[in-house]
């Protein structure tokens, strides 16, 4: 009945407990997913507005150099995948635990198929423990001197660049208004200059605002991150107990090394 001497009733209870751990894991992970989704939206806000600055060219493109273009391209490529990774360990573990639970309830005598699901669930839970622990400590990493220095440097750039862009916007607006008031000549260049100034100022302002919001949101990862980690630990312990009850650590009955020759083919010497 298993290395823990479990009855079939006990195995059914262990199966239900393991599935409960998977459900707990998914619920905690979706709470974390919501917070991470907000952070990813802020990151996309930064990336998209930096892209606007690059497209404007000139001094606006120079302002976009606050974040390397290679990093911007990488973020745009991987941001959607990172969203999925936030819930992948939990959903994978819950799916495997559901299969293991159903097989644990329905199996008669042998739990070979259930054990396969148990192994995959263990790996998913272990991956969840590592990933969600990293999410939980992300907020504390923000407080390290090196990260704070980078944040301070970026905020200084925003504090010096935004007033300059606002002055250029005001000048472009004044030049356009003067051209319109004069009522002579082509005002298209003035309008284009004003549009670029408006777009550049608005984009850079959004970059600075979203940058602050993203780091502020990181502090909200701590609680759901550690709750998800605890849920993963619970699920891992539950599936380990289930696997033990299903005799995962023992050889199947009748397992062993087969003799090289059948017993009937061995001739005993006659005295």
Average confidence (pLDDT) per 10 residues, the chain, 271 residues:
59 83 87 83 86 81 66 68 80 85 69 79 90 83 80 86 90 88 78 90 90 83 88 90 74 48 52 48
Q: What whole-number distance in Å separates Cα of residue 225 and Cα of residue 53?
A: 35
The rounded radius of gyration (Å) of the Cα atoms in the chain is 31
Residue with tokens 């939206």: 41
Six-digit token string for 95: 């799916």
Q: Which residues, including other chains, have CB under 8 Å from residue 267's CB and lie 6 or more apart?
A: none
Look at the block and give the residue holding tokens 């309830």: 105
CA proximity to 96, closest of 116, 77, 74: 116
Q: Which two three-digit tokens encode residue 17?
A: 């407990």
Tell me the CA distances in angstroms from 225 to 32, 113, 142, 254, one per residue in order. 6, 32, 15, 46
23: CB partners within 8 A, 6+ apart: 94
Q: Rounded to whole angstroms, how far apart are CA atoms 132 and 164?
A: 42
In whole angstroms, what is the distance from residue 221 CA to residue 29 CA?
11
| Per-residue model confidence (pLDDT) at position 61 | 74
Residue 64 has what pLDDT? Answer: 65
Whole-model pTM: value is 0.69
Q: Residue 152 has what DSSP assignment? A: H
How far apart, in Å, are the Cα atoms of 2 and each of 16, 21, 233, 241? 17, 21, 23, 11
DSSP 220: G
Burial class for 241, CB neighbours closer than 10 Å (0-12, 13-18, 19+): middle
C-beta separation of 91 from 34 below 8 A: no
Domain boundaries, the chain: 8-159+214-249
Which one-letter DSSP state was computed for residue 31? H
């Amino acid at each position: 009945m298993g290395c823990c001497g479990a009855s079939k009733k006990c195995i059914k209870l262990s199966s239900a407990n393991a599935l409960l751990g998977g459900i707990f894991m998914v619920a905690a992970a979706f709470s974390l997913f919501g917070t991470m989704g907000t952070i990813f939206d802020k990151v996309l806000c930064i990336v998209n507005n930096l892209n606007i600055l690059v497209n404007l060219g000139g001094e606006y493109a120079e302002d976009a150099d606050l974040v390397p273009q290679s990093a911007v391209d990488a973020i745009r490529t991987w941001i959607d995948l990172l969203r999925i990774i936030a819930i992948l360990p939990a959903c994978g573990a819950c799916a495997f635990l559901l299969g293991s639970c159903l097989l644990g309830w329905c199996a008669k005598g042998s739990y070979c198929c259930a054990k396969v699901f148990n192994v995959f669930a263990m790996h998913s839970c272990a991956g969840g423990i590592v990933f969600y622990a990293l999410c939980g400590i992300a907020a504390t990493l923000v407080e390290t001197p090196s990260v704070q220095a980078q944040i301070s440097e970026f905020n200084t750039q925003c504090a010096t660049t935004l007033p300059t862009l606002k002055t250029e916007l005001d000048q472009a607006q004044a030049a356009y208004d003067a051209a319109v008031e004069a009522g002579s000549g082509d005002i298209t260049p003035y309008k284009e200059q004003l549009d670029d100034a408006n777009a550049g100022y608005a984009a850079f302002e959004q970059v600075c605002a979203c940058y602050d919001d993203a780091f502020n949101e990181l502090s909200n990862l701590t609680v759901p991150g550690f709750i998800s980690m605890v849920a993963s630990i619970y699920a891992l312990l539950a599936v380990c107990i289930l696997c033990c009850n299903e005799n995962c650590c023992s050889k199947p009955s009748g397992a062993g090394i087969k003799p090289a020759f059948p017993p009937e083919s061995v001739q005993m010497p006659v005295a």
